[in-house]
Amino acid sequence: MRVIVSGTVVPAIAGTSESWKLHRLLGFAVEGRHAIVFEDSKHLLSWLETVDQSSRGAYLTALGLASRMLAALPANVATIRIDTGNYCWNDPLSILSLDDALQTLAEPLGVLVENSENDWYFLRGMMLKSERQRTQKLLDKGWLLPVHGGGSTLIDKFKERIAIPSKGLRTFVMFDSDRVHPDEHHPTWTTARPGKQPASCFAFEWEKAISQVMPARYWMLRRRFIESYMPKSELLIAGASQESVAALHSLPTEARWFFNMKAGLTRDAGRHDSERAKGLFDELTDAHRQALAQGLVNKLADHYEKAITSEFDWDTEARQEARTAIPKLTRLY
Amino acid sequence: MLSGFSVENYKAFARRQDIEIRPLTLFFGWNSGGKSALVRFLPLLAESIAVAGPPIWLGGAVGRKATWSELVCSTTERGNLKLALRWSEASIGAEWEILGDLEGRWQETTTLGLTTQGVTSIYTRSEETQSWPGLLPLTASPYAQFDGMAELHAKTYELANSVQWVSGIRARPPRIVTYGGGAPATLRPDGEDCVNHLIAAQLRSTADPLLDIPRKFFAALGEQLSLDNPVTGAWRVLLQPSGASNVRVNLCDTGEGYSQVLPVLVALARACTGGPKIVCIEQPELHLHTSAQLELSKILIDVAKSDKHPAVLIETHSEVLLTSVQLAIANGELAASDVRVYWVESLRNGTSDAISVDFDENGSPTNTVLASAFNEAIQLGQELITKQLKQ
């Protein structure tokens, strides 16, 4: 995170019994966890005169390195301004007391996903190599943690996290869209079905709740599931049959993105809201329909973890989606 | 002026890459990712057009006698190269598909998509090859009569004369340069003949504007650049420290940094004084200390603002250059729209993508891609101070 220390903070604490907090704060800069800048260097330098020489040198070097780090970061990088009033827990700019800031800065960034293995490895695989390397370093140091949402309980985990402001500010969420037709991404679509049981779509309610609290810190997939992104070549490696893969790729692109990769056409046809597919698969030949009846392969999403060392040949639209979504996460580092 | 180009299945770039040309276009990235391939693409095209041989001439200074299979992306196992050119002031753009034999026996333009006034026409070359041997059909062929073809001819031939390549391997200036008059339209890629342009300029006038940029660079570093003509036809390039009027050092006796930067300075000066306006430079900062990189960055920023509207494409690893450009934007000295950075990201499968980065008016990048650009140096520093604090 970017941390801006207002000019009133150091004079208020320097020379008091709480000056250890400045050491704690500068410690984040020394270890490279957060990039810290002081608005008023005069008071900082005066205080640094009172600390031991090795700490002083380390802190000054760390602040120099932090400036270099910050030059490469975008304006919307998550930022904490440490001040002595006007507090708020906003994103991208929070204004916090030194105590709240220290607590927040010590909080690992929680990446809340439905499944902390498959979904996490999907997200990791969608990253650029440079983003992946940065992310791995944060993981290794314990500064970033994939958080298991447990499928339908993801929203409960989300609510638990945001109940604690310092955790909430350090939360990013990724989830399937659960949409079964591209039209369901339209802003006016709802799960309401007049006179009938509402459509089943967890992500619809989740997005409403999450976007209200943190509009720039989540990624609802454009496609139905993480499996909907798996490249053709990987489907075959993961064990899908030639017939089912050929049938899937006989579909128009958007139909493919909303096909039930996990359970197939038969399961979707038996849903209480099966009309939602709106004829997306009507053009399939009988043979292709048969090949797609039961989904492609059991536990297909496991392939994201199994193929961790492979570079997937993502399609152009997947790459474009990732280029928009993943910077929302990396700006929180 | 050319405003952009695209390549697909070219070197490491399996997927289409759209490169927008700004007054300053910078390419950063790891080694062997494809930065050089992108910076060399326009020189390769210019060389091919000038030779008027096959669509892409691989026998020249840029082509380096590569085979077709070395030009196209080996990961895709496809033999077709796709490329596109776009011009800002013209309502014209063109996209080619060129097919080559992977064994290098032949290559041919298979299709040309020509866009004029927003309408794209696709021309497919017939089996008859005589009238369309290279990128464009011959002017006497029936193809040349199609709408926009004459303008495309003019634009591509103009391009051939507008590109200056300064390669990453540059020659040291000779101790004595013999000069019999004149200088070639473009510098040699290794810059060996750059002194000839300086001599030609000085013979025109000691106040010739071409001399301004090299003089300014060295003056900022406390050196005066001069051309000495001790014998008719023989010249030396000398540097004189500002504080020692009796000391004059031949440029070839200085460290490599100054001799390596001279072709860069001359190419930039020529771009502002009637020479090729698209300057493609590899590693302009070669052997330069960061203080000299800073002065070179100032020159590059000045050139980007020149009213001659040059376009400078640079492959670099210089953090000083990037930060200088960001600061110039933040100071209002350079418009954010005048700069485009590409981070060339190489993947584990051997392919690469050029990820674009723009800047806001405060010089901040608009995405996080550059966060990794100089991470190693910063991390090493952090590791060092952490270690020192623990001891």
Last residue of a domain, one of B273, B290, B325: B273
**For all residues of chain B together, what is the average pLDDT?**
94
- Check: CB of residue A124 under 8 Å from CB of residue A132: yes
pLDDT for the residue numbered B129: 66
Q: A87 vs B147, which has greater pLDDT?
A: A87
Report pLDDT digits (tens) over B137-146.
888 888 888 8
Domain residues for the domain of B237 are 172-273
Q: Is residue B281 domain-shared with residue B268, that is, in the same domain?
A: no
Q: Is B93 inside a domain boundary?
A: yes
**Same domain as B194, residue B267:** yes
Q: Which residues of B touch A172 (CB under 8 A)?
A: none
Is residue B36 domain-shared with residue B146, that is, in the same domain? yes
Task: Looking at the structure, tell me whether residues B17 and B57 fall in a common domain.
Answer: yes
Mean pLDDT computed over A157-178: 98
CATH code, B132: 3.40.50.300
Say if residues A34 and A105 touch (Cβ distance below 8 Å): yes
**Cα Rg of chain B, angstroms:** 22
The total number of structural domains that make up chain B = 2
**pLDDT tens-place string over residues B275-315:** 999 999 999 999 999 999 999 999 999 999 999 999 999 99
The tokens describing B364, both together, are: 């901040």
Residue B151 shares a structural domain with residue B226: no
Q: What is the pLDDT of residues A267-277, one digit of tens each?
A: 999 999 999 99
End of a domain among B247, B273, B299? B273
Count helices and strands in chain A by DSSP H and E runs: 17, 8
Please give the Cα distance from B272 to B166 (Å, whole number).
16
- Give how far the C-alpha of residue A84 lies from the chain's centroid of Cα atoms, to the nearest Å: 31
The partner residue sitting opposite B323, judged by closest CB among A57, A71, A323, is A71
Of B110, B131, B107, residue with least CA distance to B59 = B107
Separation of alpha carbons B26 and B342, rounded Å? 6
Q: Do A311 and B348 touch (CB under 8 A)?
A: yes
**Do B251 and B104 belong together in one domain?**
no
Same domain, B154 and B12: yes
Find where tokens 């940029």 sit. B213
Same domain, B20 and B115: yes
Domain final position from B256, B273, B290: B273
Q: Give the helix ranges, DSSP H, for chain B.
A: 35-39, 41-51, 68-71, 149-160, 194-204, 212-220, 256-271, 290-304, 319-330, 375-390
**What contacts B36, CB < 8 A, 6 or more positions away?**
B168, B282, B315
- Shared domain check, B338 and B301: yes
**Those residues with Cβ within 8 angstroms of residue A226's Cβ, 6 or more apart along the chain or in another chain:** A118, A119, A122, A176, A301, A304
CA-to-CA separations, A104 to A80, A96, A291, in angstroms, rounded: 9, 9, 51
| Within a domain: B188 | yes
- Give the chain A residue whose CA is nearest to the CA of B348: A311
Residues B176 and B28 in one domain: no
* B228 shares a domain with B200: yes
Burial of residue B187 (CB within 10 Å: 0-12, 13-18, 19+) is buried
Q: In whole angstroms, give the CA distance from residue B225 to residue B216.
A: 9
Cross-chain CB nearest to A74 (options B366, B381, B389) = B366
* pLDDT digits 0-9 by tens, A27-62: 999 999 999 999 999 999 999 999 999 999 999 999
Is residue B136, in this structure, part of any structural domain at all?
yes
Please check the confidence at residue A151 and state whether its pLDDT lies above 90: no
Query: DSSP label at A276?
Result: G
Is residue B167 situated within a structural domain? no
In this prediction the pTM is 0.91
Rounded CA separation A137/A149 (Å): 23
User: Mutate which of B9, B364, B385 to test chain A, going by most A C-beta atoms within 10 A?
Assistant: B385
One domain, residues B18 and B109: yes
Residue B379 included in any domain:
yes
Q: Which among A107, A106, A83, A79 has a CA at the least distance from the CA of A93?
A: A79
* Cβ-Cβ contacts under 8 Å, B367 against chain A: 74, 327
Residue B102 lies in a domain: yes
Q: Distance (Å, rounded) from C-alpha B199 to C-alpha B236?
A: 10
Closest approach of A40 to chain B, Cα-based (Å): 20
ipTM of the complex: 0.85
The domains found in chain A, sorted by start residue, are: 2-105 (3.40.50), 108-333 (no CATH)
